[in-house]
Structures are given as structure tokens and as C-alpha cells.
Structure 1
Amino acid sequence: MRYSILLTFALAALAEVPPPESVLGHKPGDDFYLATYDDALGYFRKLAASSNRIKLAQVGKTTQGRDWYIAFISSPENLAQFDHYKDVSRRLAVARGISEAQARALARETKPIIHIDGGLHATEVANAQHTIQLGYDLVTREDEETKAVRDNLITELWFSINPDGQNIVANWYRQNLGTPFEVSPLPVLYQEYVGHDNNRDGYMLNMIESQVITRATLDTQPLVFYTHHQSAPFPGRIYLPPFADPISGNMHPLMLRWLSLIGTSIAQYLDQHGMSGSMHEETFDVWYPGYIDNIGNFRHTISFFTETALYHYATPHFYTVDEFPQTRQDMRAEMFYSSPWRGGWWRLSDACRYMHSASMAVLDMAAKYREQMVYNKYLAARDTIAYFEKEPPFAYVIPREQHDAPTAAVLVEKLMLQGIEVHQSAKPDAWVILMNQPFSGMVKELFEVQNYPELRQRPYDVTGWTLPMQMGIEVHAMTTPLTPEFRAGLERISSVKGLAAPFSRSANASFRAVNEILAGRGTVSFAGDEIGVSNFDKTKLESILAANRLRAVTAAQTGKPVRAARLGLYRPWVASMDEGWTRWIFEQFAFPFTSLYNADIIAGHLRESYDVIVITDAQPRAIMEGHRPGTIPARYAGGISEQGADELRQFVNAGGTLIAFNNASLFAIEQFKLPVENALAGLRPDQFFCSGCLLTVHVEDPKNSLVAGLSSDPVVMFERGPAFDTKSDFKGAVLARYPRERSPLASGYLLHPERIQGKAAALDVNYGKGRVILLGFRPQWRGQSHGTYKFFFNALYLQ
């Protein structure tokens, strides 16, 4: 990737360098003030115009279309050789064609790149405020510490790593400042589709922002990737590595050693500067690889986050010791909480001060130990290549002929976006990922089955994510050494070409094609898995199919004609990531839909405008009650209420379809008085527990049109959801069921699987003239579970 350089350096050092308050009118961290991304960019433009120690680069655009800039800060001499140092970073990162002596020489002479950013989660507001002051100080300070940082490093400062969200949150706070709603929750997602899950997209790269970050990171190959977050486990003031167990065994151990060293180094730096309350090894683990600030460890970039304390936005708060947990009120020093915080005022400026010092601690350590750290990055890549030349798996093979081949192509493309090398094999016709490559630990992490260890601490996130299982893709691990003949038949590819799978309901891409044909006024018919098209221009049809990696297999119309259902997606003011992911998937697959807010549902007459309404994962109370009145501006208060629930009942009774995901199924069961029970209701965590794992289900009747195209035993993401028992007066169909005679666990951690064995996972329940479809899992989980999209895609057409 080549950055477009904004400014030249000529004579810039002679200009007066403006402090932030001279441009913003506030010092970053001031009470009751938040700078927007636009404010920050305006400041950094003036900073870059006044100094030859900083250059700005545009890395791309955001989801909402904003120009996205980052800053590189170092000495003028280092910036003049920036391209050279990037090249050295990339060469060492792959460890090919470089001897140990050459690697050591490069480690001595290079100026490594250190990524520090303003935080992914925009409501954690100190993140993107502290970077403004940090940028100014790195450019202007003349103390020995800062000069050593400039002379020995290039700081890659993403002063905002979520520009859209920073604007959304800052403007929301400004709008409510001085009103009773000053600290009210944000009623929309701070990333257009996924909100907090923008830090769960690290390997899938569904979001534009994730792609931009990954592309830039592969270009500069930073030595360290440091992301700021809030909030720390209370009463700690900042949470640091070492993290809680468990950890992945597919990271090189040097990454884990440096993580621990950096975390304790930050704590020491903070204590040295009079900032107490550093905490380690509580709450947060890094078992899940999908964090943007964790995935880089599999590319041997030391990647981590910290969590600094947060109250609400820029509003200060005073804490007394009696608010602390009972076990922490005695102020006793602990091994991983050595300098307890004693309470008092906590302001945005305090959080910014801790973050600024933590950033400086990382830069100080990297400046002092850069040679060793750079060499270790090379060593980790070299070791990874060498390991998989001797140990299995030696390769993964992904056949091009699949149940859903276009989705297999998506998987291949995701790997290539991550810098993974992919080859094409002629015999067999398959994609091959050779494991003797520098980042192959990531491939193993994504492809193997997760076995979560028994620990006393509950998992922080999901425990299983095996990507081929989620996507319904056949992948084979090659566990015997590859022959020279096999290797000789491989060709490195940079894109997927020449794929044309049957146009049927087995392929998710077929649904996009169907929607595009219907939008073009063509006639589409379904007959089981088969799809027929008529009354449509042949050239346009071929173009649509080719764009979706499909080929026609039925010459003319067969089965019954279908039309796109008039689709409504419930969009609550309790901002929902699950709704956002679903909205994004609908857009990606060209399903026409309308967002339905509380007022729209309460207004009624739903059947006049909609055939299908989808309610994504949410607790019944959140759907019914929403935000409590008085805690948020009136427009956003409340849920659908009893009136809205009654309108939904009338909608289904009149022939509509309601689809409920995961815990929204409980809302439907309660409000519609369905003859269904949650078999897991009332169980304690020690009786049944699953924070998120992959479970196998069996499709009960493959001839049912609602499960057309699904494999017979798909794997679903079960995440704190229900499982169903039907009552004697149940009318409808069991669409899928968990195995009766064995554990359904496919990947991850499931406590007491016998509680769910034999229970229904998906139901089609008759209600009046309509139906309620209950999916007791997350069929579209984080845009990864491609293998279960059809559980709701099929219901979005009318025959």
C-alpha cells in the first residue's frame, strides 16, 4: 500500500507549532468537552503544517465516507527514509531470504514503527482525546525521553481509529450537555453496523474500517500495535497485560513474553509518575482471536489493549471507598494490583493522563529495546516457517467443489486479506494453504477445533469459532509431509478466478442473484433447492450469475414463482449490534427492507406494508420496555410496549411471518403465548453454561422450504440462548434439533451438554394465518456464520 502524503517538510520546522488548546479552544481532557474527529483532523493538519517531525497520510475512507488520516511522527531524518524503514519491516516480518546475521544487522539499523491508536470504541471517549495531546508532545517536547523516541522510532499515530464513531459520540454529548440527559446512553451504534463489535472483526474483516486497518498494518508491519480502551475492572484505574488465562497456543511465545513485559513496564512507569491503580490478570482474556488488537500477534506484531477507567463521557465523578467492592475496601496491595487506587475525583483529564503515560511507557520501552524486539519479530516468523516444515498440519486443502463454493471463495479471500499466501492446485482442483509461511499460526487458529480448558474464571467472549464449520466449508488438513510433485503443481494466486457454482439454494450467493433478478423484474421460481429464471434478459442474467460466481443449471422456470417479501427489520433505540449485523447482511445480499422503530410498530397496520418482520437477539424486557423514561431524551425512551406487542400479534394472525433470533425467541414465546418452552430456563451457570460455542444441529425435514439449501447437519453459533421443548398443542414444524444421543459440541466450551441434547434449535410455529419462526441461536453471528444464513434467508420470499 502506498500512502498519499499530505504535506511536504520544507522549512516546516521554522513555523510556530500550535498547542491543541490554541486550535480547539480546549485542552484535550477538559471537563465537559469532547473533540470530534473533524476537530482532531483540523488540529493535526495545522500541526503537520508547522513541523517537519510529522506527516499525515490518508489510509482510506470510513463506512460513512469520511476521509481517514493518520500521523507518522519521528525525526525529520527518519521520516525522509520512511519508505526504506517500511521495506525493512516487511522483509523482517516474513523472514525469507534473510540470514540471521542480516536480520541482526537490520534490527540494529532500522527505526521500527510503533502503532498507537485512539481506541475502537467511541463511547470510551478518553482514547481519541489523549492522542491529540500525545501528538503535540511527541512533536514538540525536547526532554531526553521524547528525543530518544523520535530518534529511534517512527510512531504510527491513529489519532482516531473510529472517525465516524468519534463524531457520533461527541455530537451526542454536546447535544445533551447541561441537560438531565448529559450522561444518557447513545441510542445508535457508534459504528454504522456493528458498534462494539468493531473490535470483534479482526479476522473476518467484514467492515470497511477493519479492512483499512489491516491493509495499513500489512504495509507498515509495526513492531507494536497498541489500542486504548475503557473501562478497567473497578476500582482499578487501568487494566494491563499480562492478561487472564487462557491464551492461544498458536501465538509464538515471544509475543506473550513481550506482552507481559510491556504491561508490567507500563505499570512501573505509571507508579513512577505517581499514578496508582494498575491492575493485571482480571476479567479480560485474549482467547478469542477476532479482536483487532489481538489478531496481529499471529503476524508477530506485539498486539494488545489496555483498559483505563471511565465514568461517562467528559463528565467528572467522585468515588468514595464504600463504593468499592468489599474485597478491595481495605486497600491491600496484591501481586497484580500493587498500588491500589484510593478513590476521589475521576475526570476525563485523569483518564487522558493515564493513557498518555501508558503510550509513552510503550514508546520508551520500544526505544530502549528496539533491536531485541525487532530481531524477535524476525525470529518468530522464522520459527513459524520452520515449525510447519517439520510438524503437521503441513497444509490445508479447500476443494473448489463444495456444497456452497462461492462461500468457500469468500473464505479464501478473507485469508488473502490477512496476508496469508494461497495456492491453486490442479489435481485435486482446490485451494491450498501451505503452512510453512510466516503467518500460518493464524490459519491454524481459525481452522482447528477449539478446546477451551477448564478454568475457574468464566470466558470473556466466545470459546469456539472454527471458521470452516461456521461457514459450512469443507477443509482438509494434510498431516503427512507434502511430496515435491504436489508442491510443484501449485500456483500462487492473488485472487479467486474461474469459479462458477450451480445456481441453486445451496449457495448463499444465489440469494443475492435472486434478489438482483427480482429487482430487475425477472421471474424466479423455486423447486426444492433448484432455482429457475424466466422473463429476463439472457445477457443480464449471465452477468448477474458471473458476478456471484454462479452458473445456470435450469434452463427455464421450474417450481412455483416467488417474490421478495416486504421485509421489516426491528431497530430498537437500545442500540443492537445483532440488528446492525443483520442490517449489513441484508444489504450485502441485496434484500430490500425497511427499518422499523418502536413508533412504527406501535402505529400498527403492519400487515398492510409487511410480509415478514425480523427481531434480532434481545432480551424480552429490552424489546418491551427499552430505555427507562427520564434516562434519555423522550424520543428514544421506552420499547414497543404492550400496544406494539399486540400489533405484532395482529400482524402474524393476519398472515405475516415473525422471525425471532436467539433470546428474541423468548419475547415471541411470552407475548404470543406459543406452545413452546425454553428447556434451559432457570438453570444456574453451574448447571448449564455456554458463553458462545459451535454446536451441531440436525435438519429434521430437508424437504421443508424453510431449510432448503442447508446441509443436513449444520453447525450453529450458540451464545447464551434458548433451546426449545414443544407442548402437546404445538402446531408447526421442528426445523432443526440438537443430537439426542451425543453432545452437540463441535468447537469451544459447553458445560453440561446433556441439558440441550435432543432439544429443538429452530421451530416454525403456526399462529393464526401466519407463522412465528424461532431460531434459538445466532444465525448471522458477527457476519461469520454463513453456513446458517439460510435459516432466515429462505423465509424472506413468498410463493
Structure 2
Amino acid sequence: MYNHHQTGPAGAVLFAPPFRDPFNYNFDPLVVLGVDTVGSAIHTRLAAEGKPGAVMRTGAPYSTWFNGGIRTTSYFHNQIGILTETIGNPTPVEIPFVLDMQLPRADVPNPIQPRTFYFREAVEYSVTNNYAILDIASKRHEDFLYNMYKMAKNAIDKGNRDNWTIHPTRIAAAREAIEAAQAGASRGGENIGPRGGRGGPSTGSGQAGGGGRGGAPIAVYNNVLHDPKMRDPRGFILPSDQPDFLTATKFMNILMKAGVVVHRATAPFTVAGKPYPAGSYVVKAAQPFRAHVMDMFEPQDHPDDIPYPGGAPRPPYDVTGYNLAYSMGVKYDRILDGFDGPFEKISDLVTPAAGKVAQAPSGGGYLLSHEVNDSFVAVNRLLKANEEVYWIKSPFSASGKQYGAGTMFIPAKASTLAVVQKAAADKGLSFDAVASKPAGDSMKLKAVRIGLWDQYGGSMPSGWTRWVFEQYEFPFEVVFPQTLDAGNLNAKYDVLVFVDGAIPERDPSTGSGQVAGGGGGGFGGQPAADSIPSEFRGWLGRVTVAKTVPELKKFVENGGTVLTIGSSTSLGQHLGLPIRDALVETVNGASRPLPREKYYVPGSILEARVDNTHPLAYGMPPHAMVFYDESPAFRLQPDAAMKGVKPIAWYETPTPLRSGWAWGQQYLDQAVSIVEAPVGKGHVVLFGNEVLWRAQPHGTFKLLFNAIYYGGASSPAGSRTTDQP
């Protein structure tokens, strides 16, 4: 597939493959070689037609690591994906003089002189690219088709035998073993076996010990690089008795939409000594799109892309850690040996079977798990229908079954059963019944009016948040800066949600209001009001420290809840909360952000410790995978606890990385990711990490969902405590 895109690198006309390293370790080498072949055909035809200015590899940041773009996901499906980035505009543009783009080299073979470049030329370059691809495809169509077959066969073969995917952590472990062997040899002994991994600089080349032609001890290759314990799984099993099997089902549907074969157990079975219930999902590695299977289940291990010792990390094109099995929070087992069982292939997307609804006696009610994301669909429907919903604060048992903190209780009225039964039928939710409300403290939820920030021209994080709200049936309306600045917000909203990029650290025009916390703002220009239709002029404007923040402060002090994500957590410092930036250093007595040479964590999955006894984290496991993308992280000031400011999630170790790349991750040790703070009569929640990033991390959705209802929840009459934990 071919994706025409814009714009090209400065000093050039366009980028075309080959791409720069790293490429993903999961897909077949025929993929990257095929991409290079087609990309070279593009460059060759451009040069032959006298069209200079095409660059490749290090001429631009594009790589083949990430699985998620329309051209990159093709790599994991045995296809060639081509991307070109071309300059051009309906109005002429200037090609600037960039000195590094003037010296011919492998990645810039045909430089272009600085000049005016016209839109017609951009079209002509694109047409040449099309003809180059069509030409090589017509001449070598049998090769391309055969290679697709060969890649599919290779994938099936790998899934049917022991296989090792070599990635940077394995190389680091092998290098450590080689250095240990060299040290042992100098002492008259040798000790080669599985060792650690990445984490420190190497003192040796890893090339000694192989005789006159160089090389390392072959035992390292056999025992470390191919350690039997580190071989690839033959498949994955997702037990049907996991807490949120409905989200696991969504994961399976995502895989099947991408062409992955999924099986389901028709009866209980045992694999590797572990029993599994009927209905469990099975995904075997021996299938044509094995690369996609591995990329969705196994963690990404991005290399340390440092151009020279002591240099700053080179940013990736997109994120570096994204495997859905982690970010969606599903439970699964990696099976290292071949296995089989009473499995049937699922032929179509799975619609969950209707859940069970137990009969609630008069005066009793229903219990609903807080661990299931789709439970919030039921909550939203129940509140819309004026039914009552409570969160039971403490764990309890009923009818021999254990229920966790935050379990939802719905009193049974004459009108309740119809709402509950429809949720069970539509979403597969199951409702237990009890004769009376469980003992202990509880929180009564109320319907809330949600305002979701957006801006003229749109915000991608806000758009994804809107989509998530729609899927889980949260009632909301989009709110723009002019409405926020007008004040009287408590009359319109109970909860305001600000995604990454909404609230600035400072106002660009004055430089005032500088705060800590990191993150990016992304404040671009906007059109003049008279240049757009009148119905959209009310969308113009930006959130400002000078004008908007005081209105938000009034809103919270009067009982509202403000939820902030990513860079918008700067609101915490604007409001004077007792927090500080965790990602700073002191130089000559002054505090400054950690330089990239010391700390850089692009989009990756980290592990956080979660206080799931707090209502904001009801239904969460004690340790959760969270998505982190150069996100803020905090330290609480000594007086934070006295002021009621609480950490909800934090990074418990100096090595929280689980998938992706985290240079200098030790700086996150004990840093707080999520903070809850009372302000006046209301609440502010700071989500440093991206809890809804591109609507993918289902495992952290409920953190935001809980926060939406938490601020307005109250303890009913007779409860022993207030609505706070």
C-alpha cells in the first residue's frame, strides 16, 4: 500500500523509503527488504526524470517500528507499505537553504537548490512516485506475490517450532555474558550462562573469543541469546474467568478485525498443568499474521537510539511501546510449548452472550462488579432512568462470594429490572442479587453534567475522549474557551475534563504563570473571527492562565470537579496545590527540567502502583499498566497530606518500564502519576499519564470514569463517614 503524505523535510522536496532504523523485530526480513526495493525504485525514477530533492533514511525521522499507521500495520501482515512525505501547498512555498541537505550522500543522493517550489511540481513528483511503484510492481509482480506467500509460510513455521526473537535486552544479556567470560578467562575460568539485560554501559565489544577471525564464544549464542526460557510463545490463552472478560473479548475482536485467527474453548481444558474454563480464548502463533500477534501480546523493546555517547536520544517517529494486551489490562498466559485442546475457530466478531440477572427479593437489590469497564454503561443508563446506584466502600462477602471495594449496589425498585435486564442483554453484564444493601459505608452516585474541553480546529486527545464517552454512554457536551471565560460554570456543569494540550503552563503573550509538571501545550494560531462562518466563531479562543484559570478556580471552590490529563495538569500549580515537578534537577542553585541526555520517555507502557482502596481507583488492580508519553510526574510537598492531597498512583520502582523505551527511567522512582486534591467544596484530579491515549488503554479507562462520579457522590443518611475515604 502507498500513503501519500505531507510535508517533506526542510531543505528537500520529499522523503521516500528506505526508512531509518530501528525496524520492528517481529516482522519478516522480506518486509523491510521489499520496502527498500520499492523505495529505491522511487528514488531512481525521480533522479532519471530530473526531479532532485528526495531523501531517505536519516534524512527524516520516519521508521518502521510502530504498528498502527495505515502503512506500518501492513508490515505485520506480510505486505509492503510505502510512505512519502512531500512539500507543497496551493500557494508557492520556499525550499530553505539547509547546509546538511547540500552535500550528496547515501541518504541525500540528489540535493535540490533552495528556491520557490510550486504546487504543480508537488503533483508531478507524486505522479512520478506512482509510476515508479506501478512500474516495479508490473515487472516483479511474481516476486512480490511469492514473497507474500513465503512470509506467511515463514510465520506459520516459526509458530510451530521453538523460535527466539532477538531484541536489545537479549543482546545486552549476551554482551554481559561475553564480558563475564572474558573476565573469567583472564582468571583461568569460564562462566557462561543466562544473565541480566540492559541497564548500563558495556565495557567490551563482545567480539573476542572466537579465534583468529574474531567473534564471541558460541556458548553465549546457545545458552544466553537462545536461552530456552526466553523462547517465543507458541500461543496465548485468555481465561474466561478473568475479572473483565468483556474487555478481553474486545481485544479478541480487535485482533480478528486485523485478520488474526482466534479460537475459543468449547470445554474445560488443561495446558502446562494449568486448568482453564470453557469459553477461554486461544491465539496460536502458527498463523500467517504471526508478526501482528506477537506485536500485540509481547512487550516492545525499543533500542537506546543515541547518536553518540553522551548525546540526546533521537526521538522516534511515533510511540515505542503499545502492545494492546498490556494497555487493555487483559489477563493471559504465554504458552512456550505446542498445545491443543477442545478449541473451535471463531468465524466472526464476538458478541458477548447475555449476562445473568439474579432475582432480587423485595427490599433487596443488585450487585455489579466495579472491575468491568462496561459496568459504567449500566451506571449511566441507571442514573439516566433515575435509578439509585451506590459504591460500597469496603470489601464484603455475600452468598459465599467475595466482592471488592467499590462494588456497585442498585436498589431493586419496580422500574429497575427492565434497565438491568437490557444492560445484561446488550453488554453481557451479570448482576448478582442480595436481600439487602451490604453493610458498611457507601457512596451514592448522582447524574452529572460533563463538559469536555475542545477548541476551534479540533484536538485529537479531545476527539478520542469524546469517542470513549460515547462508547460508554456518558452524557457530555463540548465546551469551548469562550464559554469557560464567561464564568458561572457551576450553573452548567458538574465536571469539566481537560485533555493534554488544553491548559497552558503560561500565557504565550505575557510569559506569566510558569508552572511545573512537563507536557506539551500545542498552541497554534487561529483564524480571524470574520474569516469563518458565524456559527463557529464561539469556538475560537484559548484557555489562558490570566482569564480562564480564575473561573476554573471559582468552579472548583463552589463544588465542581476538574479532571486534567497530561500537560493540562499544570492547573495544579496554577491553583497552588502542594506538588512539584519530579523531573527536574538543580544546577547552580536553580531548578531546571532534566535534559534529554538524562531523561527521555516517549510513548511507552509503564507499571504504576495504584491505591485501589481510594474511590478514584475502585476496580483497579494494585499494579496497573499505564501509558506514558513524556508525561508529567509529581512529588508531593510535605504539607500535602495535611491539606488532603492524596497520591492515587505512583511509580514504585526505579525500573517501571514494561514496554517501549525509557531512557533515565530511574528518575521516576516514587514519582506520583495521579493526584487527587480538594479545593474548596470541590475536587481537582491530576492524571499525569495518558489514561485514554487514542482510546487504547482500556486498563486505565475506569480511573477517569471513577473521577467523573467521585466528586459529586455523597454518603447517604446514616452512613458513618463522609463521601471521602
TM bucket (normalised to shorter chain) is 0.7 to 0.9
Q: Which residue of the partner structure matches residue 598 of structure 2?
A: 687
1:530 aligns with 2:407: yes
Listed as ranges, the matches of 1:454-465 within 5 Å are: 454-455=304-305, 456=307, 457-465=314-322
Deviation at 1:435, TM superposition (A): 1.4
Preserved contact between residue 530 and residue 554 of structure 1 (Cα < 8 Å): no
Residue among 432, 435, 449 paired with 1:553: 432
Contact 2:389 2:444 in 1 (8 A): yes
2:91–2:118 CA contact under 8 A, matched in 1: yes
Contact 1:424 1:493 in 2 (8 A): no
Match of 1:327 among 94, 100, 113: 100
Q: How does 1:164-243 map to 2 (within 5 A)?
A: 225-243=1-19
Is 1:519 aligned to 2:519, yes or no? no
Question: Aligned partners of 1:721, 1:424: CA distance in 2, in Å?
Answer: 38
1:354 aligns with one of 125, 129, 141: 125
Aligned to 1:660: 564
**For 1:409-435, what per-residue CA distance to the aligned partner results, in whole angstroms no more than 9, with x for missing partners?**
100111111111111122223100111
Q: Percent identity?
A: 28
Query: Which residue of 279, 290, 298 maps to 2:55?
Result: 279
1:293 aligns with 2:172: no
Given residue 378 of structure 1, which amino acid in structure 2 is its aligned partner?
A: Y
Q: Distance in 1 between matches of 2:298 and 2:287?
A: 17
The answer for the alignment partner of 1:259 in structure 2 is: 35
Structure 2 CA distance, aligned partners of 1:633 and 1:571? 20
Distance 1:594 1:397, change over 3 A: same
Write the distance in 2 (CA, Å) between the matches of 1:347 and 1:726: 55
In structure 1, the partner of 2:240 is 400
Q: Deviations over 1:537-559 (max 9, x none)?
A: 42342121221111102446554
Distance in 2 between the 1:335 and 1:440 partners? Answer: 33
Q: Does the C-alpha gap of structure 1 residues 431 and 629 become closer, same or farther in structure 2, counting only changes over 3 Å?
A: closer
Shift of 1:337: 0.8
Conservation of the 8 A alpha-carbon contact between 2:39 and 2:82: no
Matches within 5 A, 1:294-693: 294-310=72-88, 313-319=89-95, 323-328=96-101, 331-391=102-162, 392-425=232-265, 426=267, 427=269, 428-429=276-277, 430-455=280-305, 456=307, 457-482=314-339, 486-496=340-350, 497-498=352-353, 500=355, 503-527=368-392, 528-533=405-410, 534-535=412-413, 536-555=415-434, 559-573=442-456, 575-618=458-501, 620-621=503-504, 626-628=523-525, 635=537, 638-641=541-544, 642-666=546-570, 668-681=571-584, 682-693=593-604
Structure 2 residue identity aligned to 1:783:
A
**Whole-Å separation in 1 of the counterparts to 2:526 and 2:429:** 51
In structure 2, the partner of 1:729 is 639
Q: How does 1:57-206 map to 2 (within 5 A)?
A: none
Three-state SS of the structure 2 residue aligned to 1:379 is helix
- Residues 406 and 499, structure 1, Cα contact 8 Å, conserved in 2: no
1:726 positional shift = 1.2
Relative to structure 1, the CA distance from residue 325 to residue 344 in structure 2 (aligned partners, 3 Å threshold; closer, same or farther) is: closer
Residue 324 (structure 1) shift: 2.4
Report the 3-state secondary structure (helix = DSSP H, G, I; strand = E; otherwise coil) of the residue aligned with 2:126: helix
Q: Secondary structure at the match of 1:402?
A: coil
What is the CA distance between 1:670 and its match in structure 2? 3.2
| Aligned equivalents of 1:407, 1:703: Cα separation in 2 | 22
Q: CA deviation at 1:521?
A: 2.6
TM-superposed CA distance for 1:628, in Å, is 4.8
Mapped partners of 1:628, 1:420: distance in 2: 43
Partner of 1:154: none
Distance of aligned partners of 1:562 and 1:344 in 2 relative to their CA distance in 1, 3 Å threshold: same
Partner residue, 1:200: none
Per-residue CA distance 1:374-432 (angstroms, 9 max, x = gap) = 11111111111112111242111111111211111100111111111111122223100
> Does residue 786 of structure 1 match 2:690?
no
TM-score by length of 2: 0.75
Contact 1:504 1:530 in 2 (8 A): yes
* CA displacement at 1:561 relative to structure 2: 2.9
Deviation, 1:598, is 0.9
* Cα separation, partners in 2 of 1:564 and 1:304, compared to 1, 3 Å: farther
Q: Secondary structure of the equivalent of 1:698? A: strand
Cα distance in 2 for residues equivalent to 1:633 and 1:684: 43
How many Å separate the matches in 2 of 1:407 and 1:733?
32
SS in 2 for 1:674: coil
Structure 1 stretches of 5 or more lacking a match? 1-224
Name the structure 1 match of 2:626: 716
Match of 1:167 in 2: none
Residues 689, 296 of structure 1: CA spacing in aligned structure 2 closer, same or farther, 3 A cutoff? Answer: same
Q: Is the 8 A contact 2:300 2:659 kept in 1?
A: yes
Amino acid in structure 2 at the alignment position of 1:576: S
RMSD of the alignment, in Å? Answer: 2.1
Cα-to-partner distance string for 1:211-262 (whole Å, 9 max, x where unaligned): xxxxxxxxxxxxxx11111111111211111101111111111111110010
The secondary structure found in structure 2 opposite 1:746 is: strand
C-alpha separation between the residues in 2 aligned to 1:564 and 1:677? Answer: 34
Q: Give 1:606 deviation, angstroms.
A: 0.3
For 2:485, the aligned partner's letter is I
1:501-541 deviation line (CA, Å, top 9, x unaligned): 88311111000111122222322222132112233342342
CA contact (8 A) 2:261 2:345 kept: no
8 Å CA contact retained: 1:669, 1:677: no
The answer to whether the 8 A contact 1:627-1:639 is kept is no
Q: Distance in 2 between matches of 1:505 and 1:274?
A: 64
**How do 1:2-81 and structure 2 match up within 5 A?**
none
Amino acid at match of 1:304: I
How far did residue 334 of structure 1 move?
Answer: 1.2
Cross-structure match for 1:697: 608
Give the counterpart letter for 1:711 in structure 2: P
SS at match of 1:459: coil
Please list every run of 5 or more consecutive structure 2 residues that lacks an aligned counterpart in the other structure: 163-231, 270-275, 308-313, 357-366, 393-404, 509-522, 532-536, 585-592, 714-725
Letter in 2 for 1:494: D
SS of corresponding position for 2:71 = helix
Alignment-derived partner of residue 773 in structure 1: 685
Q: CA deviation at 1:630?
A: 7.0
Q: Residues 629 and 401 (structure 1 numbering): CA distance in 2 closer, same or farther, change over 3 Å?
A: closer
